[in-house]
Amino acid sequence: MNYLAQNLEGLRTRYPALVQTTQENSGGLLTVVPSREGSPSATHEGRWVHSGYDPRKEAQAWAEAQLLEWKAGELGVVFGVGLLYHVEALIALKPQGAMLAVVVPHVAEFNDAASIRPMEAWINKVEWVWGTPVAMAEQLATQSAPLRFMTYGPAACLHAEVHRDLEVEVRRIAATKQGGRLHVAVVGPIYGGSLPIARHAVAALESLGHRVSWLDQSPHRASYDLFASGREPRHRLMMQSRFTDLLSLSVVTNLAEDPPDLVLALAQAPLNLAVLEHLRKKKFLTAMWFVENYRHLTYWQQLAGGYDHWFVIQQASCVDALTRAGARHVHYLPMAADPALHRPLGLTEAEQAEYGADVSFVGAGYANRRTVLPGWLSSDWSFKLWGNEWDGADDLASVLQRGGARIDTETCIKVFNATAVNLNLHSCAGDGLDPEADFVNPRTFELAACGAFQLVDERSLFPDLFAPKEMVRFNATADVPSLIRTWLADSSGRREIAAAGRRRVLAQHTYTHRMSELLAVIGMREPDRIGAMVRGDRNAGILGQRTDAPPELAALLRRFPPGQRVELKDVAAQIKANGAGRELAREELLILMLDSYRAETRDLV
């Protein structure tokens, strides 16, 4: 029986445009087949969209699993249409005060569902979200309730790209509406390339108004290196591992003394799996920004299940690998630049002479760079090589600066500004260009932020990051000498491209942008926790305006500035400060009792 007309009639008042579009577009996206239980089920290109045995029972089990996280007051947003068994089950089970929205990427699929099953009893209890990803994101952004995304995998995979684009747009909107203040503990590595990135993240979070505890491990570098001195490799590794475990315990102690809302670790931070599991047991939220090539550094395999959220600089294959290893939430978050550091500089004549050249390369002596760079030397241009780990590269010794010493960030920036053509060759284990060019190094963003012209090897992620007019790329090492020659002769062209690249970084690729997105992602996954804090729902003004706030509590909240975040301990402290010499109200006594319990149970160690 075809139920389309009666189902759509129930929607006509609230969603006339959806009804009209559904009627104008026939179904046929799904292949409807009877299940063994007798209810209609569906497939798409040979894959089951619902159970072929009992779609109702399957939908019930999926809906019950969503209740583990779905809270009252949240808007549950469902990805995956199919025949909507799972949506019907959610409506029957949804928490009191919760709302439900369903994303409709393709009306043909909605037509199939509405044609095959009677839905008039519940179809109007759902917010139907449809249109382009941008339009759908704007529709969701108008909702005052926090969003809880729920993915019904078998049907959602039909439109994975639309769902991904929608999440990106929602995150973008959420990142612009952050009005709350978090306490974030940032744990950096002892040393390495992610150490300056950790510092940039700290600065960005502080610029966004958050309180940051910077748990800097770099002062322990000397002790860490000391364990390597004069020891056999197996003894060195054992000693350094034990030392790292000790630093993990030190981090736990710091967190216990000043508990944060979020623990953000950068790649190679000294947090082992036992500590991460301990933090989860104590209800601490953790995230890792893994700013490494996952193929080269593989310690993530042991830590994948330890962090609540992973942020990575590669996409599909990296996300799949971490998910298979046990990571629950994995998100793509590319590198960035810090405009406060990576900026155009006016150099003195002496600085220009010291740092300047027609062509420069800054970086460590990875195998492919040792092979490729000698081919880019020429008597037609001056060349300077900066960085460490170039021992044994005899054919580059004549251009190596400062004897191959490691240079600091300020020196890098001076080199970028003083050089006509900056070379940017991504590292890889082979002899030439990276055959799996699926990440973009920080140098790309830093050079662009400095307004420096660069020649960079092509990367698969560039289309989403930079336009061709903002950066000159090459696909073969043999092309670089001719590109150098061409661009050295075109100073105005270099300036135009470099300026365009800088504008792009300032608009989209700073660490402030990245930290805003990171918090938006976590806030969307944790809407009743981080999401509420980021939105400002814990601010005194908003809390005091809530209709369910008792008059006595509202009066207490009015003692705080409206924009100040207020927690239980803050209200308790206010009561203690202003309660001397008077009889406390019942509500005040309850708050003091709850705060006393909180203080007794917060110990981490």
Q: What is the pLDDT of residues 443-500, one digit of tens each?
A: 999 999 999 999 999 999 999 999 999 999 999 999 999 999 999 999 999 999 999 9
Please give the average per-residue pLDDT across 265-289, as a whole number. 94
Nearest to 456 by CA among 436, 434, 489, 488: 434
pLDDT of residue 548: 63
The listed range with the strongest mean pLDDT (302-311, 424-433, 532-541, 555-564) is 302-311
Identify whether 519 is part of a domain. no
Residue 604 pLDDT exceeds 70: no
**Cα 522 vs. chain centroid, distance in angstroms?**
8
Identify whether 42 is part of a domain. yes
Residue 236 pLDDT exceeds 80: no
Residue 209 CB neighbour total at 10 angstroms: 12
Angle at the Cα of 418 from the Cα atoms of 414 and 420, rounded to 5 degrees: 140
Domain holding 547, by residue range, is 538-601
pLDDT of residue 228: 66
pLDDT of residue 602: 56
* Claim to verify: residue 554 and residue 503 sit in the same structural domain: no
* Claim to verify: residue 321 and residue 358 sit in the same structural domain: no
Confidence tier at 346 by pLDDT (50, 70, 90)? very high
Identify whether 582 is part of a domain. yes
| Cα gap 242→441, rounded to integer Å | 31
pLDDT of residue 323: 95
59, amino acid identity: A
Contact 557, 540 (CB under 8 A): yes
pLDDT of residue 568: 73
Please give the average per-residue pLDDT across 145-167, as a whole number. 91
Identify whether 515 is part of a domain. no
| Of 1-10, 26-35, 326-335, 351-360, the least confident | 1-10
* Claim to verify: residue 259 and residue 332 sit in the same structural domain: yes
* Tally of CA atoms within 13 A in the half-sphere of 309 that contains its CB: 24
At which of 336, 360, 390 does a domain end? 336
Please give the average per-residue pLDDT across 362-385, as a whole number. 96
* 8-state DSSP, 404: G
Q: How far is the CA of 5 from the CAs of 11, 12, 108, 128, 151, in angstroms?
A: 10, 10, 15, 17, 28
Identify whether 526 is part of a domain. no
| Cα gap 521→332, rounded to integer Å | 10
* Claim to verify: residue 66 and residue 120 sit in the same structural domain: yes
Number of domains the chain contains: 4
Unique residue bearing structure tokens 């999440």: 167
What is the token pair recorded at 59? Answer: 């939908």
Residue 565 pLDDT exceeds 80: no
Residue 361 pLDDT exceeds 90: yes
At which of 127, 146, 175 does a domain end? 175
Strand, coil or helix: 405: coil
Confidence tier at 573 by pLDDT (50, 70, 90)? confident
* Claim to verify: residue 187 and residue 168 sit in the same structural domain: no
Please give the average per-residue pLDDT across 516-538, as a whole number. 83
Identify whether 481 is part of a domain. yes
Output the pTM of the full model: 0.81
* Claim to verify: residue 138 and residue 197 sit in the same structural domain: no
In 74-230, the DSSP E strands lie at: 75-79, 99-104, 127-130, 147-151, 183-187, 211-215
| Cα gap 412→342, rounded to integer Å | 9
Strand, coil or helix: 129: strand
Confidence tier at 40 by pLDDT (50, 70, 90)? very high
pLDDT of residue 432: 92
* Claim to verify: residue 302 and residue 414 sit in the same structural domain: no
What is the token pair recorded at 6? Answer: 């009666």
Please give the average per-residue pLDDT across 365-373, as a whole number. 96
202, amino acid identity: V
Identify whether 211 is part of a domain. yes
Identify whether 559 is part of a domain. yes
At which of 458, 492, 509 does a domain end? 509
Angle at the Cα of 415 from the Cα atoms of 410 and 419, rounded to 5 degrees: 155
| Cα gap 9→420, rounded to integer Å | 67
Residue 563 pLDDT exceeds 90: no
Confidence tier at 321 by pLDDT (50, 70, 90)? very high
Alpha helices in 287-358 (DSSP H): 300-303, 316-324, 349-355
Q: Strand 454-457: give its sheet, edge to edge.
A: 383-386, 357-362, 419-424, 454-457, 472-474
What's the mean per-residue pLDDT of the chain?
Answer: 90
Confidence tier at 599 by pLDDT (50, 70, 90)? low
* Claim to verify: residue 31 and residue 167 sit in the same structural domain: yes
Share of the chain above pLDDT 90, in %: 70
* Claim to verify: residue 206 and residue 332 sit in the same structural domain: yes
Residue 294 pLDDT exceeds 80: yes
Residue 179 pLDDT exceeds 90: no
